[in-house]
Amino acid sequence: MKNDKLVTRDTLADLCRNYREAGKKIVFTNGCFDILHAGHVHYLQQAKALGDILIVGMNTDASVKALKGGGRPINGQEERAYVLSGLGCIDHVVLFNELTPLALITALKPDFLVKGGDWKPKDIVGSDVVLAAGGEVRSLPYTDGFSSTSVIDKIIKMAGN
């Protein structure tokens, strides 16, 4: 499966310089995106509406496992990146292996750093970096009733019947 939206950090840094020179606003968000659902899509569309270019930092399989436990991810990083790349609102997907995207945010210095509604802007990893560079940090509202964990729990429950 060819994925033109999946880029390396170095390529992305060059692209971001070009976007800035062209006057474009860069939005960055991150996550595991293990099982993509309607809540994710709505959130990502909201994020894209803040600027011109939406970059999604996605946890590698190793970092998802470290964060979520041995049973995760359900879908591998190549598959997750491919599914995300299929969304028109996303311009680039970049993998990160660390537990947080701090190094990536520091390298990119996006104009907007966004996370989902359970995050307070001051607690979002990299918020200090983005604010110091003159950017904005936003917490976007969740779409009620959607989470990867609830989808997994529902599948497990249905499989038991």
Residues 66-110: pLDDT tens digits?
A: 999 888 899 999 999 999 999 999 999 999 999 999 999 999 999
Domain chopping of the chain, boundaries? 9-159
For residue 121, pLDDT over 70 is answered with: yes
DSSP structural state of residue 123: G
For residue 161, pLDDT over 70 is answered with: no
pLDDT on residue 144: 65
Pick the CATH number of 9-159 from 3.30.365.10, 3.40.50.620, 3.90.1010.10, 1.20.140.70: 3.40.50.620
Q: What percentage of the chain carries pLDDT values higher than 70?
A: 95
For residue 133, pLDDT over 90 is answered with: yes
pLDDT on residue 147: 67
Angle at the Cα of 142 from the Cα atoms of 119 and 66, rounded to 5 degrees: 55
Angle at the Cα of 17 from the Cα atoms of 15 and 23, rounded to 5 degrees: 105
pLDDT on residue 8: 96
For residue 131, pLDDT over 80 is answered with: yes
Q: How far apart are the first and last CA of the chain?
A: 35
Q: Which residue carries 């001051």 as its tokens?
A: 122
What is the pTM for the complete model shown? 0.92
- Point out which residues pair with 7 in neighbouring strands: none
Angle at the Cα of 79 from the Cα atoms of 78 and 85, rounded to 5 degrees: 90
For 66, residues 6+ apart whose C-beta sits below 8 A from its C-beta are 99
Instruction: Say which range, 44-53, 65-74, 77-86, 138-147, has the weakest mean pLDDT.
Output: 138-147
160 band by pLDDT with thresholds 50, 70 and 90 = confident
3-state helix, strand, coil in the chain (%, to 5): 45, 20, 40
